[in-house]
Amino acid sequence: MRVLVTGAGGFLGSHICQHFGAAGHAIAAVGRFATDDRVAAAYPGLTLLAGMTLPDPAFVRAVKSFRPELVVHCAAGANVADSLEHPYRDFQGSVDGCAYVLHVLRESAPEAGFVLLSSAAIYGNPATQPIAEDARCAPNSPYGYHKWLCELVVEEYRTLFGMRTAILRVFSAYGEGLRRQVVHDLCRRIAGSDPEVRVVGTGHESRDFVHARDVARAVDCASRALGAGPPIYNVASGSETTVRELAALLAELLDCNKPIVFTDEQLPRSPSNGSADVSRMIAAGFRAEVPLREGLAGYCRWFRAQDAAR
């Protein structure tokens, strides 16, 4: 199969390229990167389409030349704080980019399947857990609103133009290559020079962590059901972990004995809890395979290697 991945130089995009490349598929990796070791692995069918920021006329030529059978759209902003500071820029990178990719596919590769990586941020802070796909969308950040708007554009092209699409609402993804969010932030604080690890929040906030390799497997499962399965899936492990538990585990894996102190402040624009109903993904043949401790151990090894290289 010919698989085109946008945002291929990013955290999840690179893991998705690796997953499909390792399975022997031809990959077209589209991104702003010049070179990226996480993407430029020695896959026989890898085509790097570097230096591309959507919308870009070069993308039209790439689609016509590569003739993708599946497009996985990962190109978008991925930072809540940045979206609050620069909401229009986040809109352009998310909504405009998604609409452009769908427009190009409709005109140049209408038979290609399309998978959008969305986010659990569209749910906001729901009172009912675990969160099912039919829960009310109530985002509380520009990032969440823009993911929701991307989903509406995908629904437009699925309903009006018959495109085969799937939307994956990814919960708290982590893994090698992650340079932001709670896992990376905790590792930085634990490995830092401060005498204590100071964490904003109560520590009772919880997340449903899912490894990037499992996210890539979920994309694979959803792509096999395009046109037959449901249009929207939650992607998570289905298991809830508190930030206090996460911090303790990371401290152990990083051999840190510093005290971990929680400020008891309310986290701005952040849900208190996040546990996913993953029954739709399970029905599509997916189960998370990377245990949290194993995945975090691998992440800590990667983090240490990055820290040593600086």
Share of the chain above pLDDT 90, in %: 78
Structural domain boundaries in the chain = 2-174+210-237+275-289, 181-205+240-274+299-309
The answer, yes or no, to whether residue 281 has pLDDT greater than 90, is yes
Q: Which of 84-98, 164-178, 264-278 has the lowest mean pLDDT?
A: 264-278
Q: Which two tokens stand for residue 243?
A: 């930030």
Q: Which of the 8 DSSP states describes residue 131? A: B
CATH of 2-174+210-237+275-289, one of 3.20.20.450, 3.30.420.10, 3.40.50.720, 3.40.640.10: 3.40.50.720
ω into 55 cis (within 30 of 0): yes
pLDDT tens readout for residues 31-66: 887 545 556 555 667 888 877 888 999 999 999 999
At residue 27, φ and ψ (nearest 5 deg) are -120, 130
Non-local CB neighbours of 309 within 8 Å, separated by 6+ positions: none
What architecture (CATH level 2) is domain 181-205+240-274+299-309? Alpha-Beta Complex (3.90)
pLDDT at 73: 98
How far apart CA 231 and CA 220 sit, in angstroms, is: 14
Given this model, what pLDDT does residue 276 score?
95
Q: What string of DSSP letters covers 224-289?
A: HTTTTS-SEEEES-S--EEHHHHHHHHHHHTT--S-EEE--PPPTT--S---B--HHHHHTT----
pLDDT band per the 50, 70, 90 thresholds, residue 280? very high
C-alpha span between 143 and 147 (Å, rounded): 6
* Encoded amino acid at 238, one letter: G
Average pLDDT over residues 170-189: 94
Q: Are 33 and 39 in contact (CB under 8 A)?
A: yes
Given a cut of 70, is residue 176 above it in pLDDT?
yes
Q: Which two tokens stand for residue 78?
A: 């991925």
pLDDT tens profile 11-28: 999 999 999 999 999 999
What is the rounded CA–CA span in Å between residue 40 and residue 83? 29
Helix (H) or strand (E) holding 1: none
Distance (Å, whole) CA 232 – CA 201: 31
Q: What is the pLDDT of residues 97-152, one digit of tens each?
A: 999 999 999 999 999 999 999 999 999 988 889 999 999 999 999 999 999 999 99
Q: How many CB atoms lie within 10 A of CB 32?
A: 16
Instruction: Give the pLDDT confidence of 198-250 residue by residue, as tens digits.
Output: 999 999 999 999 999 999 999 999 999 998 889 999 999 999 999 999 999 99
| Per-residue confidence (pLDDT) for residue 53, from 0 to 100 | 85
- Angle between the N-to-C axes of helices 212-224 and 11-22, in degrees from 0 to 180, rounded to the nearest 10: 60
- Output phi, psi for 144, to 5 deg: -65, -45
Q: How far is CA 35 from CA 38, 90, 169, in A?
A: 9, 24, 28
Q: What is the mean pLDDT of residues 169-180?
A: 94
Q: Which residues pair with 131 in a beta bridge?
A: 276
